[in-house]
Chains A and B, each alone.
Chain A
Amino acid sequence: MSTLVIQDLHVSIDGKEILKGVNLTLNTGEIHAVMGPNGTGKSTLASAIMGHPKYEVTSGSVTLDGEDVLEMEVDERAKAGLFLAMQYPSEITGVTNADFLRSSINARREEGDEISLMKFIREMDSKMDFLEMDQDMAQRYLNEGFSGGEKKRNEILQLMMIKPTFAILDEIDSGLDIDALKVVSKGINEMRGEGFGSLIITHYQRLLNYITPDHVHVMMQGRVVKSGGPELAHKLEAQGYDWIKEELGIEDETVGQEA
């Protein structure tokens, strides 16, 4: 079993503190959902764990099986087993989706032990079928001209090809119609298992109709303010966030406000 531990994480962007002490522990075999209204620090948490260049960790720690993640370069974090499905994936002209994926896979393998082209193509074809993606997307330039839904599917395709230990999914459901949402959920459920843990960031309960989380956390004001089981998500769906705000005496849940 692997464990990702986030302790008292403080993160700033352009000198402004966004995360104010986040604590979370993820084990493989578990799916965690982080929910909360817009502007409460959810995406910042995802970006800080992966090492986004604009986010500065001012204190706290992130460890993966005891290893200090924050000391690692972005590519080292990925090779250690972390994956972030991004909310806004970059478009890269001239680099085909297939070449990019093959480089990603080979980055994890020793020189001389690269994945064979045939094996790679077979695997990519079958995963693309599973995600109901057009085969021609393999030869298109990375995310260039992809629709919102295509980009999200492409993130899940990468997840399924790379098979990380922990995947953070940053608003993978935003902008998806119901069919695309089902496909994306199917991909994540396919990954679910002993050797895989996930942190799903969303502000809609909708996604959780298709992926049942083991744990649900609510973020407000740059902290996790409430944690529970799947029933918490249902309660949020039925009643919204106001009852939590009342319970905790929060007037404005966004970052920069104090309870």
Chain B
Amino acid sequence: MTVETTLAVTEQVIRAYSEKMQEPGWMTDFRLTALAQAADLPMPEPDKTNIKSWDFLSFSAHTVESEGYSTLADLPQDIQSLIDTENQKTLYIQRNNTPAYVSVSQELQDKGVIVTDIHTAIRDHGDLVKQYLMTDVVKPDEHKLTAYHAALLNGGAFIYIPKNVEMDEVVQVIYVQDDESVSLFNHTLVVAESNSKLTYVENYLSTFETATGQANIVSEVLAKDNAKITYGAVDVLAKGYTAYVNRRGVAHRDAVIEWALGLMNDSDTIVENVTHLVGDNSEGHVKTVVVGRGDQKQNFTTKVIHWGKNSEGQILKHGVMKDSASSIFNGIGKIEHGASKSNAEQESRVLMLSEKARGDANPILLIDEDDVTAGHAASVGRVDPMQMYYLMSRGISKHEAERLIIHGFLAPVVRALPVEGVKKQLTEVIERKVR
């Protein structure tokens, strides 16, 4: 099988799209430069997964147009249930590629917080977006997929928290896909200025069975000095996508980034989650849970890179594999020279529910500094028969006992998610996938 390595989309298409979106000239240039680079850039090389035959590039249309939602009552039921409609004041919903609903609490507006779709941000907050969009955290020329992402960017959100603003409320973003042909080149850009605090949660949710488009998703998360960002996500992309999901954070001095990621896609997926601890005393905490089923192939690379002194990195990954799903879990703690007194910890656990499932946990510590601490733990195994015996000895059926153990195994991330409705959704998705 030959796989498309170049794109059908031409410079003209991109120019026209940029113009239609009323983008400033710098954005058009940004796209075209990336497009020109893409042709010569290599594909990414996720460790231990060969993606040569994966088709990330063919799709029928760059964008699809959808109607917005004038009120939350117009939302389909399974989207509504994600939202605490009474209390969720700050919310952005994107339907396919169309910004469909946005609301920002008066309090946040007064404080200068920006929560908007990426297109509006490019038009109205051009200086800020130009400064941060793929300039530092993720760059277009890293490989072919980042370059195409930059060239084709067709959705996403911009979240900006000014200096010293500590938010009590949660910013919620929902990316809904209800058109099978939709392709996502979706970009979430989060910037937290010094001494600010943000809790953010996002959902990717496909309501159809099988996608015919592509998903190429990038999130850039920047926590400046002493900022704290809690970033929760639940991804439920339909099968049919060949998904590339890159969420990357940079933490400056004393900053903290906490990730809680429920990666529940039904598509073949390459997930990259990297946190750069560039500032002294910065912290990165990553919690990830995954359920693989069917004949899904996935690669999860989680990396925390320590540059700053006394930086703290923690990775916790739990995966459940069933049917003939196969997944690679690469966990990398890297301590650069000069990052003394840093601590890199990681734990990867994979639970196999069937003979044919595959799960490989690869813990890697790369340390270029003497005065540090680091540790890793990894295991791949089946449900512990002693735990089953204990639960069943109380009258709990085999099926229910297994269910409890699996939910328990995935609980660390469920509990870390900031919004009740999203917690509940992840629990239900897990339920559906492991049944």
What chain A residues lie within 8 Å of B412 (beta carbons)? 94
Cross-interface CB contact of A93 among B385, B391, B393, B409, cutoff 8 Å: B409
Is A79 an interface residue when CB atoms closer than 8 A count as contact? yes
Chain A proximity of B312: nearest CB distance (Å) = 22
Is A182 an interface residue when CB atoms closer than 8 A count as contact? no
Chain B proximity of A6: nearest CB distance (Å) = 17
Query: Considering only CB atoms and an 8 Å cut-off, how many residues of chain A contact the other chain?
Result: 29
Q: What sequence of 0s and 1s flags, for each residue 236-250 of chain A, a beta carbon within 8 Å of any chain B beta carbon? A: 000000000000000
Q: Which of B377-435 contact A (CB under 8 A)?
A: 384-387, 389-398, 400-401, 404-405, 407-412
Is A228 an interface residue when CB atoms closer than 8 A count as contact? no
Closest A residue, CB atoms, query B414? A94
* B408–A103 CB distance below 8 A: no
Q: What sequence of 0s and 1s flags, for each residue 65-102 of chain A, a beta carbon within 8 Å of any chain B beta carbon? A: 00000000111011100011010011011110001100
Is A206 an interface residue when CB atoms closer than 8 A count as contact? no
* B389–A95 CB distance below 8 A: no
Report the Cα distance A53→B382, complex, angstroms: 15
What chain A residues lie within 8 Å of B398 (beta carbons)? 73, 75
Q: For the complex, would chain B's binding face be called helix, strand, loop or mixed by DSSP majority?
A: helix
* A92–B405 CB distance below 8 A: yes
Report the Cα distance A127→B384, complex, angstroms: 30
Report the Cα distance A117→B265, complex, angstroms: 33
What chain A residues lie within 8 Å of B384 (beta carbons)? 90
* B395–A92 CB distance below 8 A: no
Q: Which of A120-152 contact B (CB under 8 A)?
A: 141-142
Q: What sequence of 0s and 1s flags, for each residue 13-37 of chain A, a beta carbon within 8 Å of any chain B beta carbon? A: 0000000000000000000000000
* A78–B410 CB distance below 8 A: no
What chain B residues lie within 8 Å of A108 (beta carbons)? 395
Is A254 an interface residue when CB atoms closer than 8 A count as contact? no
Chain A proximity of B407: nearest CB distance (Å) = 7
* B386–A162 CB distance below 8 A: no
* A90–B404 CB distance below 8 A: no
Is A61 an interface residue when CB atoms closer than 8 A count as contact? no
Is A115 an interface residue when CB atoms closer than 8 A count as contact? no
Is A158 an interface residue when CB atoms closer than 8 A count as contact? yes
* A90–B400 CB distance below 8 A: no
Report the Cα distance A92→B387, complex, angstroms: 7
* A75–B387 CB distance below 8 A: no
Report the Cα distance A83→B384, complex, angstroms: 21
What chain A residues lie within 8 Å of B385 (beta carbons)? 53
Is A52 an interface residue when CB atoms closer than 8 A count as contact? yes
Is A107 an interface residue when CB atoms closer than 8 A count as contact? yes
* A86–B393 CB distance below 8 A: yes
Cross-interface CB contact of A90 among B390, B396, B397, B411, cutoff 8 Å: B390
* A78–B409 CB distance below 8 A: no
* B392–A73 CB distance below 8 A: yes
What chain A residues lie within 8 Å of B408 (beta carbons)? 92-95, 141-142
Closest A residue, CB atoms, query B407? A94
Q: Which of A152-198 contact B (CB under 8 A)?
A: 158, 162
* A79–B404 CB distance below 8 A: no
Report the Cα distance A104→B387, complex, angstroms: 14
Cross-interface CB contact of A95 among B392, B395, B397, B407, cutoff 8 Å: B407
* A93–B394 CB distance below 8 A: no
What chain A residues lie within 8 Å of B396 (beta carbons)? 75, 78, 103-104, 107
* B391–A94 CB distance below 8 A: no
Chain A proximity of B274: nearest CB distance (Å) = 27
* B393–A78 CB distance below 8 A: yes
* B395–A75 CB distance below 8 A: yes
What chain A residues lie within 8 Å of B407 (beta carbons)? 94-95
* A93–B411 CB distance below 8 A: yes
Is A50 an interface residue when CB atoms closer than 8 A count as contact? yes
Report the Cα distance A89→B391, complex, angstroms: 10
* B404–A158 CB distance below 8 A: no
What chain A residues lie within 8 Å of B395 (beta carbons)? 75, 78-79, 104, 107-108, 162
Mind listing 15 A-B residue pairs with CB under 8 Å? Answer: A75-B393, A75-B396, A78-B393, A79-B395, A90-B390, A92-B387, A93-B411, A94-B408, A103-B404, A104-B395, A107-B395, A107-B400, A141-B408, A158-B394, A162-B394
Chain A residues engaging chain B, CB cutoff 8 angstroms: 50-53, 73-75, 77-79, 83-84, 86, 89-90, 92-95, 99-100, 103-104, 107-108, 141-142, 158, 162
Nearest 3 A/B pairs, CB to CB? A94-B408, A94-B411, A78-B395
